[in-house]
Structure 1
């Protein structure tokens, strides 16, 4: 049985996140477990999820960005109260950021997406991204 769709196209931050993610080389969007994820064969960003409060109890976070964090950066990210530990993803080094929060820093979101993409995407796609941004 497929998962029900758990988002709407007008959810806070989704249009902006789509623009950032789909602008990366080879990036595509698909629905996984009822929510949008962005991938290049492997997922590098997700939209929406939940946070485990205690055993058997979750809080849904419908406008959460979920990205892979470089292990060297995890202590700093975990010390920042804006970041969430997403259920199912968190133990693998993924963290969430609420895109519906007041005054989202879209430059920071772009940097998080870029860093996650670089950790996940194939080397040839990362090289293509680097070629796009290399100074002439």
Structure 2
């Protein structure tokens, strides 16, 4: 059984994340488990997530989930804006709630860092050639 959509396609926060993610070389979007996932060979960003143990909560419904560099993870976790989401958190992913006034430069940096950890080397080289 397919998961029902857990997002609004006209969400302006999703539109910003989509613009950032799909600007990266070879990036595509697919809906998985009811949420937009951005990927090359592997997923590098997800729009929306769930709170561990509370799937009915909408606390992460408008968050961006990324896989941070292991060296950056402790600093991000020390920042109260970042949380470990249900499911993906067990694999190192973190979530940043976008409601309020997100720093879109920071969001783009987080998405790009996650992309660099998951994308094939040739796509990372293409990004570097672009000056990314």
> Which 5+ residue runs of structure 2 have no aligned equivalent?
none
User: Would you tell me which structure has more strand in proportion to its own residues?
Assistant: 1
Q: What are the superposed Cα offsets for residues 14-62 of structure 1, whole Å, 9 maximum, x if unpaired?
A: 000000000000000000001100000210000011111xxx4343321
Instruction: Tell me if the contact between 1:44 and 1:68 (Cα under 8 Å) persists in the aligned partners.
Output: yes
> Which 5+ residue runs of structure 1 have no aligned equivalent?
none
TM-score in terms of structure 2 length: 0.94
Report the structure number with the largest CA radius of gyration: 1
Q: Could you list the runs of 4 or more consecutive aligned residues of structure 1 that deviate by over 3 angstroms after TM superposition?
A: none
Q: How far apart, CA to CA, are the structure 2 residues paired with 1:68 and 1:57?
A: 21
1:88 aligns with 2:84: no
Instruction: Tell me if the contact between 1:70 and 1:93 (Cα under 8 Å) persists in the aligned partners.
Output: no
Structure 1 counterpart SS, 2:8: coil
Aligned alpha-carbon RMSD (Å)? 1.2
Q: How far apart, CA to CA, are the structure 1 residues paired with 2:50 and 2:32?
A: 14
1:78 aligns with 2:74: no
Number of matched residues?
130
Structure 2 counterpart SS, 1:21: helix
